[in-house]
């Protein structure tokens, strides 16, 4: 499932920007299909423009029937009546989505016979000081089994002890959910930490859900700003 809002706050209409001859959202949809990992791939949107773009290209798209504050809610509405076990949320602004990373997220559930894990997601190590301090970059810290402890737009951990190397991980916005966890998310109200940070993954933690993080070395380019789009256009060539 690829949730796709037209009116993005930081970069309106970013999903319809041109990326080497095709809109960003279509590039992302094609990248998800190309992995050959999924039974079906859908774009879920509130926009006629995005819906028609995907349908016209021969893809599958669904129109949201309600207003939603986040991608998880949008996807939950779409899969309510679908008979599925695992749903993967691929962000619409990630046209460089790759098979290796997604396969790693799905493998988590194959190695979880007791169904201890509610969600799986990706993290990539970052070392650039500007990126570490950038509030648009969501950071994650994990326990010794790689379960998420917290997500933040602030640099975490804070390097109080300069004698110990601080390792930072960026959270990549790709999730795989058990359907139960996703439906729980939809009905549970937002709590203060999620509201403060504006990070939907925190809601799962606040309600005691377990998120297994998978480290990847594939950073890709997420298109949050016009500058990101320029970098993506250069990389696509």
For residue 177, the tally of other CB atoms under 10 A from its CB is 30
* CATH superfamily membership of 1-93: Spore Coat Polysaccharide Biosynthesis Protein SpsA; Chain A (3.90.550.10)
Mean residue pLDDT of the chain comes to 92
Please report the pLDDT score of residue 24 as a whole number.
95
Q: How confident is the model at residue 72 (pLDDT cuts 50, 70, 90)?
A: confident
Q: How confident is the model at residue 49 (pLDDT cuts 50, 70, 90)?
A: very high
Whole-number Cα distances in Å, 91 to 38, 95, 101, 133, 164: 15, 9, 13, 22, 34
The residues near 198 (Cβ < 8 Å, ≥ 6 apart) are 153
Q: Which residues pair with 75 in a beta bridge?
A: none
Please report the pLDDT score of residue 221 as a whole number.
84
Please report the pLDDT score of residue 118 as a whole number.
96
The residues near 53 (Cβ < 8 Å, ≥ 6 apart) are 16, 23, 25, 26
Task: Kindly report the CATH number that applies to the domain delimited by 98-219.
Answer: 3.90.550.10
Please report the pLDDT score of residue 70 as a whole number.
77
Radius of gyration of the chain (CA): 17
Q: Does pLDDT of 214 surpass 80?
A: yes
Q: How confident is the model at residue 69 (pLDDT cuts 50, 70, 90)?
A: confident
Please report the pLDDT score of residue 171 as a whole number.
95
Summarised one tens digit per residue, pLDDT across range 147-189 is 999 999 999 999 999 899 999 999 988 899 999 999 998 899 9
| Most confident stretch, 9-13, 140-144, 196-200 | 140-144
Higher pLDDT among residues 5 and 67, named by residue: 5
Q: Does pLDDT of 11 surpass 90?
A: no
Tabulate helix, strand, coil % of the chain (nearest 5): 35, 20, 45
Residues of the chain with CATH 3.90.550.10: 1-93, 98-219
CA–CA distance, 237 with 234 (Å, rounded to integer): 6
Rounded to two decimals, the pTM is 0.86
CA–CA distance, 117 with 208 (Å, rounded to integer): 11
Please report the pLDDT score of residue 205 as a whole number.
96
Please report the pLDDT score of residue 68 as a whole number.
74
Mean pLDDT of 58-67: 90
Please report the pLDDT score of residue 110 as a whole number.
92
């Amino acid at each position: 499932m690829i949730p796709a809002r037209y009116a993005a706050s930081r970069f309106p209409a970013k999903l319809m920007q041109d990326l080497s001859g095709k809109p960003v959202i279509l590039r992302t949809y094609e990248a998800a299909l190309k992995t050959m990992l999924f039974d079906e791939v859908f774009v879920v949107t509130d926009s006629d423009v995005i819906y028609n773009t995907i349908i016209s290209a021969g893809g599958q798209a669904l129109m949201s029937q309600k207003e939603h504050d986040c991608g998880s809610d949008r996807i939950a509405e779409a899969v309510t009546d679908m008979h599925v076990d695992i749903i993967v949320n691929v962000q619409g602004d990630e046209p460089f989505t790759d098979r290796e990373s997604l396969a790693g997220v799905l493998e988590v559930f194959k190695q979880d016979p007791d169904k201890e894990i509610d969600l799986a997601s990706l993290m990539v190590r970052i070392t650039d000081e500007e990126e570490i301090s950038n509030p648009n970059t969501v950071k994650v810290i994990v326990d010794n089994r790689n379960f998420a402890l917290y997500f933040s737009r602030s640099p975490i951990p804070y390097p109080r002890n300069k004698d110990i190397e601080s390792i930072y991980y960026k959270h990549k916005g790709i999730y795989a959910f058990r359907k139960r966890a996703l439906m729980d998310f939809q009905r549970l109200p937002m709590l203060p930490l999620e509201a403060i940070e504006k990070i939907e993954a925190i809601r799962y933690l606040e309600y005691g859900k377990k998120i297994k993080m998978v480290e990847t070395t594939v950073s890709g380019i997420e298109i949050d700003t016009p500058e990101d789009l320029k970098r993506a256009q250069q990389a696509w060539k």
